[in-house]
Structure 1
Amino acid sequence: MKKIIMFFVMLSFVVMMMACGESSSQVSESEGNNANDEIVEETSSNGDEENTEESEEEEFGTRNNPVAHGVSVDVEVSDWLFGDAHYEMELIESISGAEALEMVKASNEFNDEPGDGKEYILAKFRLQLIEVEEEPFDVNPQQFDIVSAGGASYEDFVSVAGLDPEFRSDLYEGGEIEGWVPFLVDANDEKPLAKYGDIWFDLRGE
């Protein structure tokens, strides 16, 4: 009889120990999940903060943060073909619509009409060459690209004769040019951007 009692006592003790072991394992796993959750949340939070800082510190002169009128930008470029160059550039002013067309026609009566749904934008740029590896430094309107607000490039070549002064010159160190560059854009394009090298300019901004 005593043996039977001792057997049940030992059996009860083993069952209790097994139950305690399962409970500890579940708590440990739950704590581990919580710790992982905290790490994920912290990483996500830091990522959001970094993205916000990057957005706020968007590099000046990019497509998302183009150069406005009247703002001088200091540019240093390195070209494997033409060498290094350092210059200062500014979009002085721009005109569009009827005023631009009137100026185009006054420059030369044989200049083309813009066409249906199109309009001219005439932008006056200034460039001062500070330092250059290979002289002379060529400046001309064909070096510009123009991109619509939707991100599509305008591929048509625009030629307007008689603009005075024209943004075209061979510059040497210390030289400066100020002149007009013609662009042809969709009349309903609210934010066409001009790109010179790696620098973007807001053609309609004031």
Structure 2
Amino acid sequence: MKKFVIGFVSGAMLFSSVTVLAASGLLGQKVQSVVTIEKSGVKIAEGAVINGSIYAPVQELAKATGTTVTIKNKKVTLGSPAALATNSVTASSRTTPTEIGKSVNFNYKTGGYSGTVAVTQVLRGAAAWEAAKEQYDAFASEPEAGYEYLFAKIKVSISKVDKVGATADLNQFDYKLISTSGTEYGAQIILAPDPSISTKVYAGSSHEGWVGYKVKTSDVSPLIAFSRNYDGTGGVWFKTN
């Protein structure tokens, strides 16, 4: 992947900004080519290749990837500290679940660690069954009548572990599937795709893996809950569609 270089003036295309090119020592340099930048098959911007690096409008890229941009004192900051501070576990609940692809802060007291967590991808029904067959071949078995598989890919970044020097013990069973009506599905041993979310992670590192469930085909919008209290309160909640 070619390197993205930041250096623009409030949303201007880098390769058309004389001020920025001069400041970067690139004024007069030849644009080798213009490239199209896409996300999920949709064009979001264009960039210019100069000396092997791609120069592109950071604001457009940030908007497309859900990243905040702050311009202050001739400095560009990707990701607003203020926004991250308010994106706490209290911003995610059963009534206001977090969207797929969006990270939220958590403090898992039972597990003894904290950080950010996101559901990055969900497969359900036919797509989940195809993934199961591809992963386990002859060992894969279809759910019973009235049920289907739901696989969720989860990314966890650990910022702190309460016990100094210890790892955070990530466990698939910490992620509970709650039906649309509010009933918790019981613990299920499902052969989800690899890698599993279950692993051990030190502070400062992250892991992305799958959890698997069997869900009623009639259950339209179940939620995934993580780091709740023993009585079911609190925690972070994610949509599955």
TM-score normalised per structure 1 = 0.65
Structure 1 window deviating more from structure 2 (176-185 vs 104-113): it is 104-113
Q: Is the 8 A contact 2:158 2:205 kept in 1?
A: yes
**Local SS of the residue matching 1:100:** helix
CA distance in 2, matches of 1:77, 1:98: 33
**Aligned residue pairs, count:** 142
Match of 1:90 in 2: 118
Q: By how many angstroms is 1:129 displaced?
A: 0.3
Match of 2:154 in 1: 125
Is residue 148 of structure 2 the alignment partner of residue 111 of structure 1? no
Alignment equivalent of 1:192, drawn from 219, 222, 226: 222
- The percent of aligned pairs where both chains have the same amino acid is 28
CA distance in 1, matches of 2:187, 2:203: 33
Alignment equivalent of 2:239, drawn from 181, 202, 205: 202
CA distance in 2, matches of 1:156, 1:173: 28
**Local SS of the residue matching 2:144:** coil
Map 1:1-206 → 2, pairs under 5 A: 59-79=90-110, 82-83=111-112, 85-109=113-137, 110-134=139-163, 135-160=166-191, 163-197=193-227, 198-204=235-241
| CA deviations over 1:20-60 (Å, ceiling 9, x no partner) | xxxxxxxxxxxxxxxxxxxxxxxxxxxxxxxxxxxxxxx42
RMSD: 1.5
Q: Is the 8 A contact 1:158 1:184 kept in 2?
A: no
Amino acid at match of 1:97: G
Q: Is the 8 A contact 1:149 1:190 kept in 2?
A: yes
Q: Is the 8 A contact 2:173 2:187 kept in 1?
A: no
Q: By how many angstroms is 1:165 displaced?
A: 1.8
> Which one has a larger percent strand, Structure 1 or Structure 2?
2
Following TM superposition, the consecutive aligned residue runs of length 4 or more in structure 1 with deviations greater than 3 angstroms are: none
Amino acid at match of 1:86: S
Q: By how many angstroms is 1:194 displaced?
A: 0.9
Any unmatched runs of 5+ in structure 2? 1-89, 228-234
CA distance in 2, matches of 1:112, 1:143: 24
Amino acid at match of 1:168: S
Amino acid at match of 1:199: V
Work out which structure has the larger RCO, using CA pairs closer than 8 Å and 6 or more positions apart in sequence.
1
**Local SS of the residue matching 2:225:** strand
Q: Is the 8 A contact 2:106 2:117 kept in 1?
A: yes
Amino acid at match of 1:73: V
Q: By how many angstroms is 1:116 displaced?
A: 0.5
CA distance in 2, matches of 1:69, 1:168: 20
TM-score normalised per structure 2 = 0.56
Any unmatched runs of 5+ in structure 1? 1-58
CA distance in 1, matches of 2:240, 2:155: 14
CA distance in 2, matches of 1:78, 1:152: 23
Q: By how many angstroms is 1:154 displaced?
A: 1.0
